[in-house]
Amino acid sequence: MSTHRFAVNVTPKPGILDPQGRAVEGSLDHLGISGVTAVRVGRRVELTVEAADEAGARAVVERLAGELLANPLIEAYAIEPIGGASSTVSPPPASAGERHA
């Protein structure tokens, strides 16, 4: 068994109304910020999965994203491996994804 950490990035599909994004855009003037457009607000879910291997872990995350975390009618999701993969059987893969800072 090995342990993998993933992020699921859920964003409103193109064309779907995004009131939170509009609210952010509406606040920019008050902050004196210009040049910012096309703001879209979604969710980011980070989770740890214990599975036989990374493919198995990703399959679990795919199911969770499609059935619980995202509404497929109005939202798209992307699955991203993030740091922290570890294994109790074999060494962790050389590239387990990294967090952007």
Residues near its own copies (CB under 8 A) are: 5, 7, 9-11, 21, 24, 27-28, 31, 33, 35-51, 57, 60, 63-64, 67-69, 78-81, 97, 99-101
Q: Which is nearer to its own copies, 37 or 90 (CB)?
A: 37
Question: In whole angstroms, how close is the CB of 98 to its own copies at the nearest point?
Answer: 11
Nearer to its own copies, 21 or 92 (CB): 21
Provide the minimum distance between the beta carbon of 91 and its own copies in the complex, in angstroms, as a whole number.
Answer: 20
Whole-angstrom distance, CA of residue 2 vs CA of residue 82: 14
DSSP state of 12: E
Q: Which is nearer to its own copies, 38 or 94 (CB)?
A: 38
Residues whose CB falls within 8 Å of the CB of residue 1, separated by 6 or more in sequence, listed in order: 50, 51, 52, 87, 88, 89
Joined together, the tokens standing for residue 71 give: 């509404």
**Smallest separation, CB 49 to its own copies (Å):** 5
Cα–Cα dist 3/57, whole Å:
8
Q: How far apart are CA 52 and CA 57, in angstroms?
A: 7
